[in-house]
Structure 1
Amino acid sequence: MDGRHTPKIVGIVWGLLVLNTLGSAGAKTIIPLPRSLIQMVTMGALVAAFALALAVNLQLRIRPSAYVSLLTLLLVTSVISSANLESGFGALFRCFRLTLFVCTLWLLTRWWDGSLTFVRHHIRMYFAVLGSVAAGLAVSPGAALPDLYGGRLVGDLWPLTPPQIGQYAAVIIGLTVLLLLERRTDRTSAAVVIVPSLVLLALTHTRTATLGLLVGLVVAIGSLLLTSAAARRFFTWTVACAAVAAVALGSVLQAWFLRGQSKENFSSLTGRAKVWDALLAAPRSASEQLFGVGLGDKSFGGLPIDNSWLAVYNEQGLIGVTLVAIIIIVLGGVALLRPPSLQRACAIFLISYCAIASYTEAGLGDASPYLLHLALAASLLATPAEAGPLATPEVPRRHVPRWARRSEVV
């Protein structure tokens, strides 16, 4: 079942990983869900994902992966930084969660062969998540667009914040556009995914996700310009439409982008810069600078850090920051060295999106959707199974039934 054939259970494992990374903190839901129950569901999904991945790969056959190897080193750093319990016993629990996450990825590398299988799993699962958001919006618009979040769209069936919804929508929009350009999906199927996802993205007013989507698509489609006529046409039409929209709808777009914020609030990135300055100014020992204070809830002084690099610096120190930087550089370097292809374009989109989002969102140092996006990129950049030791062995001709031999000429 290696290489060319991916068991259906692998798609279930990927979906469970997505469920685990949805998190447990967010908006108030229509039916109040205890946080302990949500954490039980998400953690249970991770345990189930690991168990299923192990069951389908009992021989423990894995493929070499620089990405997962670097994640393993990051895990070791996290354990070292969390061992002194400066962040409490919760740090050790988060280390256990990250361990299961990384081990599950190792088990899945057996099927990382550069195909689009995991891209389709990714799109389907996140589209299902967005479906729950849309259902919540239809059932209770007031709860889905609360004043607490400035009228931005939240998940009121499952607690999801506007940045989370924007991220999921942007990622599947970008991947679906690339599949459509290379005719790996039909227009109807693409429209079913892209149109409602665009509406939800607009309702979240998430600038990071929107910018990541636009820049990621520009870079990804740019990698296809020399080999794809469809990419060249799409790029030309997109630039023309963007220019017209900028002129005709400039004031509307500016109002959407500012979200009614003052210039001072906007320049401080909605208060993020104050938290960043305080974090960098806080005194640290040499050990804390190197290894951090241990895995926490990505906050400082009770306020969210909202920056992957500073969150990693706070929790895993300079060593963690170095490892995360190497992950981005290695994935980006491998993508640039690959010949132009749809898989390469999808990987470039995901890497670009995560790099942009890392400035205002945390998640590159712990089990999160961002690490799952990068895992998808790594699977797309893997060499085909036919070229490696895990290729499905060819069945000798003498064992092929006669009726099957006659069909070989077709």
Structure 2
Amino acid sequence: MAGELKPAGPDTIGTRPGTGPRPAATPKAVGIAWALLGLNTLGSAGAKTVVPLPRSLIQMATMGALVAAFALALALNLRLRIRPSAFLFLLTLLLVPSLISSVQLEVGFGALFRCARLSLFVGTLWLLSRWWDGSLTFVRHHVRMYFAVLVLVAAGLVVAPGTAMPEYYGGRLVGALWPLTPPQIGQYAAVIIGLTVLLLMGHRTTGSGAAVIIVPSLVLLAMTHTRTATVGLLVGLALAIGSLVLTSAAARRFFAWAVLCAAVAAVVFSSALRAWFLRGQSQENFANLTGRAKVWDALLAAPRTTGEQVFGTGLGDKSFDGLPIDNSWLAVYDEQGLIGVTLVAAMIIVLGGVALLRPPSLPRACAIFLISYCALSSYTEVGLGDASAYLLHLALAASLLAAPATATPLPPAAIPRRRIPRWARR
């Protein structure tokens, strides 16, 4: 992807130390810290791999990545300069019901471990917020990071196609070298496709560079048969491009072509698209959301004390009676109670409200895509209440909506006087 032109650094003479604008060039180590956060969110449970990896080893790798990300972010920001962020403030408040419910140990000591993990995750985001200035720097870090994950998935498909598309997942693509599930792969593919399309429309990357990312990602997304990621990609892009239609000719052209292609595909490939979307399921199974509705009904019908309703039962593995919940709102309600649901809803509402108030721009469009994608995916995926890729997507949206830092002028008496040479005085 083509590099973005950066303006020369501003003159900082007469500005108060610590309150000036962020340096024109973000340290490369910031991207490394962001990638380590992404590694932590890959998880330790999923498909069977070619070389069996002990879960304890994977957990050590992911937790080690989080600790390394925090240490690196702290080393880069020793003076603890942070940017005010309503999103990070609400995310920090989410630690309160998480800790209150987890100390009861109803779900075991793992709840306290997950609280510590979430605390480190939030702390790292606070440290990295120093470089949140509304630019596309973190978008590039995000795309490169998840594209590297997809390269690993593609390598596993080439090395062991049978393991990468197992029968116990209905022939859907999984991670053969790292235990990744089809929804995870579909999520990563959809997010980087959407962001790359927006970068291409904004002339922030070349057509060939975008094709290298979009084409293989689309193939992998189709092989995962992930409906949530596909719908989230289409709706998110529609909203993001719609926010640019009035100010961008490229957005208007792309929107018109997209509508035309969608209409043609709906007519010509209707049966194939329907078969792909149903994934061989019956209409009844599809209406039940592959059995999810039964788990949701049982979770809502389960008796709870007042404390469990308000604060939840503690951070767990996002399951109920041994079955996955597969709904972010119900998972948050189960683990962090009504307070957690309120805080998560406030995070999305605040980000969405700020995005609507910003003038049309490419960073705003990218933020709208990420917010809408996470909001739609929350219906059949979990992750909004714990350290996850979805929280990382929302953090990226918050960085895109952050206003550039401004310098605070020093009073004239505090500006150091420059010594004039004796020869210049004559």
Task: Please state which band the TM-score falls in when normalised by the shorter chain.
Answer: over 0.9
In structure 2, which of residues 74, 87, 97 is the aligned counterpart of residue 77 of structure 1?
97
Q: Return the letter of the residue paired with 2:179.
A: P
Query: Counterpart in 1 of 2:25?
Result: 5
**1:7-406 aligned within 5 A:** 7-385=27-405, 387=406
How far apart, CA to CA, are the structure 2 residues paired with 1:340 and 1:45?
A: 36
How far apart, CA to CA, are the structure 2 residues paired with 1:66 and 1:234?
A: 33
How far apart, CA to CA, are the structure 1 residues paired with 2:408 and 2:282?
A: 59
Shift of 1:293: 0.1
Percent sequence identity over aligned pairs: 79
For each residue in 1:363-389, what CA deviation from the matched residue of structure 2 results, as whole angstroms up to 9, or x when unmatched? 00000000000000000000012x366
How far apart, CA to CA, are the structure 1 residues paired with 2:357 and 2:87?
A: 16
Shift of 1:396: 10
How far apart, CA to CA, are the structure 2 residues paired with 1:140 and 1:396?
A: 67
Instruction: Compare the two structures and name the one with the higher helix fraction.
Output: 1
> C-alpha root-mean-square deviation of aligned residues, in Å?
1.5
How far apart, CA to CA, are the structure 1 residues paired with 2:355 and 2:318?
A: 30
How far apart, CA to CA, are the structure 2 residues paired with 1:262 and 1:34?
A: 36
SS at match of 1:30: coil
Cα gap change, 1:396 to 1:174, in 2 (>3 Å): farther
How far apart, CA to CA, are the structure 1 residues paired with 2:107 and 2:137?
A: 39
Q: Return the letter of the residue paired with 2:225.
A: H
For each residue in 1:310-352, what CA deviation from the matched residue of structure 2 results, as whole angstroms up to 9, or x when unmatched? 0000000000000000000000000000000000000000000
TM-score, length-normalised on structure 2? 0.91
How far apart, CA to CA, are the structure 2 residues paired with 1:353 and 1:113?
A: 22
How many positions carry a matched residue from both structures? 394
SS at match of 1:13: helix
Moved over 2 A (4+): 1-5, 387-390, 395-399
Shift of 1:4: 2.3
How far apart, CA to CA, are the structure 2 residues paired with 1:245 and 1:35?
A: 43
SS at match of 1:293: coil
Shift of 1:5: 2.4
Q: Return the letter of the residue paired with 1:365.
A: G
Query: Counterpart in 2 of 1:402?
Result: none
SS at match of 2:116: helix
Cα gap change, 1:188 to 1:396, in 2 (>3 Å): farther
How far apart, CA to CA, are the structure 1 residues paired with 2:376 and 2:160?
A: 33
Q: Return the letter of the residue paired with 2:220.
A: L
Cα gap change, 1:171 to 1:396, in 2 (>3 Å): farther
Native 8 Å contact 1:308 1:360 kept in 2: yes
Query: Counterpart in 1 of 2:412?
Result: none
For each residue in 1:149-170, what CA deviation from the matched residue of structure 2 results, as whole angstroms up to 9, or x when unmatched? 0000000100000000000000
Shift of 1:2: 2.5
TM-score, length-normalised on structure 1? 0.94
SS at match of 1:238: helix
Gapped regions of structure 2 (runs ≥ 5): 1-20, 410-414, 420-426
Q: Return the letter of the residue paired with 2:243.
A: S
Q: Which moved more, 1:309-318 or 1:72-81?
A: 72-81
User: Rg larger in 1 or in 2?
Assistant: 2
How far apart, CA to CA, are the structure 1 residues paired with 2:115 and 2:23?
A: 31
